[in-house]
Structure formats: structure tokens, C-alpha cells
Amino acid sequence: MDGLDEVAISTLKDILPTLSREDIRDLFPGPEHFLRRKAIWLLTHKEEQGHSIPVEVQGSSADDKHTESSKQDDPSTSKFLKLPSPEYVLFTDSELQQAMDELRRIIEPNNCQYISEVKDRWETFYSKVQFYGVMKKVMKPPRTLNGVEHAIAVFTALPLLFPSGSAAPKKQVPISEALFHVLTSSEDPDTYIHRRAFSSPVLLVGEENCMVVVGTTPVLTFDKDLLYEGPLYLLAYYYAFHLTYPKCLATLLSVLQTQVLRDVIHEQDATPSYKKAINEWRMFVD
């Protein structure tokens, strides 16, 4: 607040604590202002730093928004992210909806059905890639796996099915760690985030919920039952924050970009590994 006189500073200090999360979101809309909104909220609600922060329940209808927002300050009616050792809680600020909508504004701004179409294409891709993985002998035929275990098996196989020809930053780290990581019961999420070998967006899978982390900053939590949609959430943040694909995942993410998002790749960005991978995929699905 440098440059402001005492009256202005005093007035702002009186006003900021009265703003709701929705007010702050109206002042600074869009995924690009996520960290700014979070900083303003924590600046005026310091008692919440290091404590449980309510998470907005996703998937509520427009008629339920007022009711849900009135419940957010009541811990007994809120939804929390709980990751092991220690408890790790994150306020999501509806970033998932805003990031997926950012995809539409960037790729097909005039198509109001774009997000639902992307999800339909992902469902189709996800079902076919499982058979592709078995055919390529990088996956076993699914038998007794539950939804989460199945998603983890698919995510592990994806970088192998669409290889970039570039190794992970550390040879002992599998390339799939650039895409997702399953936290063990003894792992501290914050410690893992700061020690991981990659700076690209990653999915963290906890005991109850999942988290998207960009760099060292957690930006989103979502229900574990939606884990299979996780790569879509990662792509949304690559687009929303204008991030460059890591070399070891470039082919995989480029395939998802063209096949699921239906966003074309410029010829100069179509690497030999991408061309080889996409040709083999098209031969399989055709």
C-alpha cells in the first residue's frame, strides 16, 4: 500500500475484511488471478492460515449457489481435502470450472457446448487407450481394478504409449511422475511438492481427494472419483497459465491437445515423435 495516505489505508483495511470470496472473485475474475485472490483473502483472514479452509462443493446448480455460499463458512457443512501426514487443506475457489471455461475461450469461444464435447471425447479416448495399452503390452487387461486403480494404471501407461524420446530430469524418476503422483500414507504433500524433480503441473492423488499443483503452488482439489478426468484438468491449467509442455510429456500432451481438445498443432511444433505416435494411434482407432 505504498503511496497511499493514512485515510486511504485505514478505509481499505476496514473494507477488505467485509468482502466475501465471491466479491474478491468479481474484482479479480479468471484463473490468472487465483493467487492474487488467495493472497487478499488470507491477508484479511489471517486466522485461516495453517488451518482448515472450506472448499466449495463442485457441481452445484445455479439455484444452489446462494445456499452453498452461505454454508462455506460453516466447517460442519463444508467439503475438505484431507491428505495424509499431516492434514492438508486447500480452498479451491471454483478454479476447475473457470480453468475448463478458459479452454473454451481460448480454443472455441463461440461454442457454448465445448467443455461437454471435450469430456465426451475424453471418455472415448480413455476407453480406447486402455485396449491400445494392452495391445502395446504396457498394460494388463483390466479385471478387478476399481475406478481409481484403473485410472492410475492408465496414467502410468500414457507416457509410454505416446513417448517423447526425452528422459525424465532424474533417471531414477519414472516419466509418469511428471503427470501424477500417488501419495503414500507417510508422505507430506508439501514436502513432496517442493522436492519433486518437475516444475510442470502435476496431479497428486491422496487417500480421499486429488490435487492439481502448478510449480509448488496447489491450485485445485477435486473428488477422487473424478481422477480419471485428471489429465483434462492439467491441460486446462497449461492453457490458462500459458505453460510450455515438459519435453518428457510433450508428445502425450500434444496428442491429447489434438485428439481430445481438438486444438491443432502448428507444423513446426509437430515433432517426429509426435508424428510417429499419432500415426500409430490413428492406425489403431481406424
Domain check: are 54 and 151 in the same one? no
* CA 105/CA 109 separation, integer angstroms: 4
- Number of helical H runs and strand E runs in the chain: 11, 4
86 assigned to some structural domain: no
CA–CA dist 243, 230 (Å, integer): 17
The three three-digit cell numbers of residue 269, written as one number: 511444433
Cβ count within 10 A of residue 256:
22
CB 99 within 8 A of CB 233: yes
Same domain, 71 and 145: no
pLDDT for the residue numbered 283? 95
- pLDDT band (50, 70, 90) for residue 70: very low
* CA separation for the pair 87, 90 (Å, rounded): 10
Residue 90 domain-assigned? no
Neighbours of 264 (CB within 10 A): 11
137 belongs to a structural domain: yes
pLDDT, averaged across the chain? 77
With respect to residue 83, please indicate whether it lies within any of the assigned structural domains.
no
- Residue 66 pLDDT: 37
Q: Which residue has the higher pLDDT, 51 or 216?
A: 216
| Pair 186, 85: CB distance under 8 Å | yes
The predicted model gives 48-59 an average pLDDT of 35
3-class DSSP state for residue 106?
A: helix
Q: Is 89 part of a structural domain of the chain?
A: no
pTM for the model stands at 0.68
Ordered alpha helix ranges (H), 162-285: 189-195, 230-240, 250-259, 272-285
Q: Within a 10 A sphere around the Cβ of 182, how many other Cβ atoms?
A: 15
Instruction: State the total domains in the chain.
Output: 2
pLDDT of amino acid 37: 72
Same domain? For 160 and 71 the reply is no
What integer pLDDT is reported at residue 126 of this predicted model?
94
Q: Tell whether 143 and 114 lie within a shared domain.
A: yes
Q: In terms of domains, do 101 and 190 share one?
A: yes
139-194 residue pLDDT tens: 888 766 678 888 999 999 999 999 997 766 666 578 899 999 999 888 888 888 88
pLDDT reading at 128 higher than 90: yes
In a domain, 141, yes or no: yes
Q: Is 107 contained in some domain? A: yes
Specify whether 147 is located in the same domain as 250. yes
Say whether both 144 and 229 belong to one domain: yes
Give the separation between CA 191 and CA 99, rounded to whole angstroms: 26
Where is the domain boundary, 42, 77, 112? 77
- Provide the domain limits for residue 70: 6-77
Say what the pLDDT of residue 95 is.
Answer: 61
User: 197 with 275, same domain?
Assistant: yes
209 and 165 in one domain? yes
The pair phi, psi for residue 79, each rounded to 5°, is: -105, 130
On whether both 32 and 106 belong to a single domain, the answer is: no
